[in-house]
């Protein structure tokens, strides 16, 4: 009986914490959220170049390599 009570309380707390993150953003605050440094990847071009270099140096087929690579660490 105690385990089910603990589980119910835990699930309720989890739901409360999940709902606490749901807020309405005012229109004048949306500009702050749309700034580039608020993105998950603020430098997508730099990340793509680094991923390409890593894939070509490791000689591993990844999502952005055409297959294979030198594997010697050369650029």
Model-level pTM greater than 0.85?
Answer: no
pLDDT band at 43 (very low <50, low <70, confident <90, very high): confident
pLDDT at res. 67: 52
For residue 55, which of 42, 45, 40, 65 has the smallest C-alpha distance?
65
Q: Tell me the per-residue pLDDT of 48-63, one tens digit each, with 9 for 90 and over.
A: 998 888 877 766 555 5
C-alpha closest to that of 63 among 71, 52, 74, 72:
52
Q: Give me the mean pLDDT over the 36-45 stretch.
A: 84
Three-state DSSP state, 53: helix
| Whether 48 contacts 64, CB under 8 Å | yes
Torsion on CA atoms 73, 45, 66, 61, rounded to nearest 10: 60
């Amino acid at each position: 009986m105690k385990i089910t009570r603990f589980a119910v309380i835990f699930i309720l707390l989890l739901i409360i914490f999940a709902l606490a993150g749901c807020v309405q953003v005012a229109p004048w605050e949306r500009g702050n959220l749309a700034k580039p440094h608020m993105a998950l990847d603020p430098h997508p071009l730099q990340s793509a170049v680094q991923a390409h270099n890593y894939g070509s140096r490791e000689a591993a087929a990844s999502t952005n390599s055409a297959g294979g690579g030198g594997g010697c660490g050369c650029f």
